[in-house]
Amino acid sequence: MIPDWKLADEALRNIEVIGNENNHPVNIIGFAEGLKCIGIGTDAAVFYYHRTPAYVFKVYSSQALKKKDVEEYVYEHLKGSRFFPKLYGNGANYIVLSFEQGVTFNDCLLQGIPITEQAIRDVEDAREYVRSQGLNPRDIHLKNILLQNGRGKVLDVSEYVKKGNDHRWEHLVWAYKNFYPFISGVQVPLWILATIKHLYFRIDLASFVLEEFSGRVSRLFLKNRK
């Protein structure tokens, strides 16, 4: 029996995802009726097709097809966990995942939607589950965590086969506990989030002091309120 998500296969063949150098987001060429891009990354783009509303399709650039194999491998190991989307299948250059309703943590900040403590705990539990499967939870940041009916769900697993701790989640938890209570429910301007991201990626982790970084972020908010 042909799975129902195969209805999107012809539409997906009408688009091409083009990778870029220097870790820049991919570009998309082509068009198909009923196919909507709902997310863009540095290796792939995610599409929703109106005839298959239960699924999304993560389409990889030709340079990133090895990442497709990696993500399939990781999702198979995380099968059955409520903390991650479900893998349904694959095509030549895409994987098929469950469509997940919700708002990313990044959009929660932009829209002033409170991020719950339960969602933070869910991500902590998700990380523990990843480790229990012999994998390494990395690259967990504001844009790949969903707030879903007050609960947390993690969307991107592409780096879970890499070694080492990038500390991104630990830094977010620190900010949530020490800084977020002062801005919960406040709509954060996009330029402030972009500036924080720019500052964060320029830091030297070997000499990074969270309190100092938090002070710089606080000054951005004070400047915005003047």
pLDDT given at position 214: 66
Model pLDDT for residues 63-77, shown as the tens digit of each residue: 999 999 999 999 999
DSSP H or E run through 118: helix 117-132
Mean pLDDT across the stretch 155-174?
93
Query: How far apart are alpha carbons 81 and 59 in whole angstroms?
Result: 23
pLDDT given at position 114: 97
Grouping H, G, I as helix, E, B as strand and the rest as coil, residue 123 is helix
Confidence class of residue 23 from pLDDT cuts 50, 70 and 90?
confident
Mean pLDDT across the stretch 104-128?
97
β-bridge partners, 45: 40, 59
Cα torsion 211, 214, 218, 224 to 10°: value is: 160
pLDDT given at position 210: 66
Fill in the DSSP letter of residue 97.
E
Query: How far apart are alpha carbons 58 and 114 in whole angstroms?
Result: 28
Domain 4-98 is in which class? alpha beta
Nearest alpha carbon to residue 85 among 131, 142, 149, 154: 154
Positions of CATH 3.30.200.20 in the chain: 4-98
Residues in CB range of 208: below 8 A, 6 or more apart: none
Q: Does domain 103-225 have CATH number 1.10.510?
A: yes
Positions of CATH 1.10.510 in the chain: 103-225
Query: How far apart are alpha carbons 21 and 27 in whole angstroms?
Result: 11
pLDDT given at position 195: 85
Model pLDDT for residues 80-110, shown as the tens digit of each residue: 999 999 999 999 999 999 999 999 999 999 9
Would the pTM of this model clear 0.95, i.e. be above it?
A: no
